[in-house]
Amino acid sequence: MRSSSLLSGLGRVYIGLVLVFLYLPLVIMAAMSFNASPFYQLPFEGTTSWYAALASNEGLIASTLNSLQIAVLTTLIATTLGTAASLALFRSDFRGKRALQALLFPPIAIPWLISGTAMLIFFFGTGIGRGLHAILLGHVALALPYVIIVVSARLQTFPRELEDAAASLGASRWQTTRKVTLPAIAPGIVAGALFAFAVSFDQFVVSYFLATPGQTTLPVEIYAAIRKGFTPEINAVSTIVILFSMGLMLIVSRFFRFAGDR
C-alpha cells in the first residue's frame, strides 16, 4: 500500500515536471513581451509598447496573414481530400490496398529537409515554381497523410452495419455518407483538421525553400528576424499565436470529445 502511494506521488511529480518543462518557456516568453527592456533586463517593467510596435511591423503582419491563409486553405483541402480517401479505403477492397495504406507513413517519417528539397526540385522541373501557391501545395502534401491516418483510425470503430441499414431503407450512398457516416466520424475529421492546421502553420523548412522574397510565412519571417537581431515584437506575435491556438483548442474541445462521443 505504501509503495503504491509512493509510486503514485512520484508519477504526479514527474507529470508536473514535464508540464513545467513544456509551459515555463512559453510563460516566460509571454511575460517578456510585456517587458520594457528589449534585452530582458530585470527588474521587470510592464509595457505594451512591443504590441504597438508589432501593429506597425508590416513584415510580421503580412507573414502572419500569409500563414493563416495558407493554413486555413491547407486545412480545408487536406481535410476534404483526406476524408474522401479514408472513406474510399474503408469501403473498398482492391489489390494493393495494404501497400497503399503503408505508403502513407513514409511521408511522415521522412525529414522535412529532404521533403522540402524534393519539392523544390520537382516544382522547378514542372514549372510550378516558388511562391505562396507552391507553399500551399507543399503543405497539403505534408498534411494529407495525417488526416488520412486520423480519420481512418476513427473509421475502424465505425460499425458498417449502420451504412447497410441506411442503404436497406432506401438511402443513396451520398445520403448515407452525409447523414450517417460523417456525423459519426466527425471527431476524427476535426482532429485531422487540427493536425493539418498545426502542420501547415508551424511548417518552416518547406516554406523556407518554396517562399519568394516578399512572400513568406510567419516561421520564415521569425527566422529572418532572429538572424538580423532579435526583437521583442517576435515575443508579442508569438504570444498572440499561442493564445489563438489555445482558444481554438478550447472551442473545439467544447463541442467534441476526441476519445469517443460528440
Q: Is the pLDDT of residue 208 over 80?
A: yes
Residue 11 main-chain phi, psi, to 5 deg? -65, -40
Q: Is the pLDDT of residue 257 over 70?
A: no
Q: Is the pLDDT of residue 20 over 60?
A: yes
Among residues 152, 158, 146, the alpha carbon closest in space to that of 184 is found at 158
Q: What is the pLDDT of residues 35-59, one digit of tens each?
A: 887 777 777 778 888 888 888 888 8
Confidence of residue 79 (pLDDT cuts 50, 70, 90): very high
Confidence of residue 262 (pLDDT cuts 50, 70, 90): very low
Return the amino acid letter for 225.
A
Note whether 132 and 66 are within 8 A (CB): yes
Q: Which residues contact residue 132 at a Cβ distance below 8 angstroms, ignoring those fewer than 6 apart?
A: 66, 69, 70, 211, 215
Q: Using alpha carbons, list the distances in angstroms from residue 50 to 36, 38, 160.
A: 8, 9, 55
- What's the rounded Cα separation, in Å, for the pair 84 and 155? 12
- What's the rounded Cα separation, in Å, for the pair 166 and 163? 5
Burial of 227 (0-12, 13-18, 19+ CB in 10 A): exposed
Beta-ladder partners of 35: 46
Domains and CATH numbers, the chain: 57-255 (1.10.3720.10)
Beta-ladder partners of 212: 215
Confidence of residue 71 (pLDDT cuts 50, 70, 90): very high
- What pLDDT does 258 receive? 52
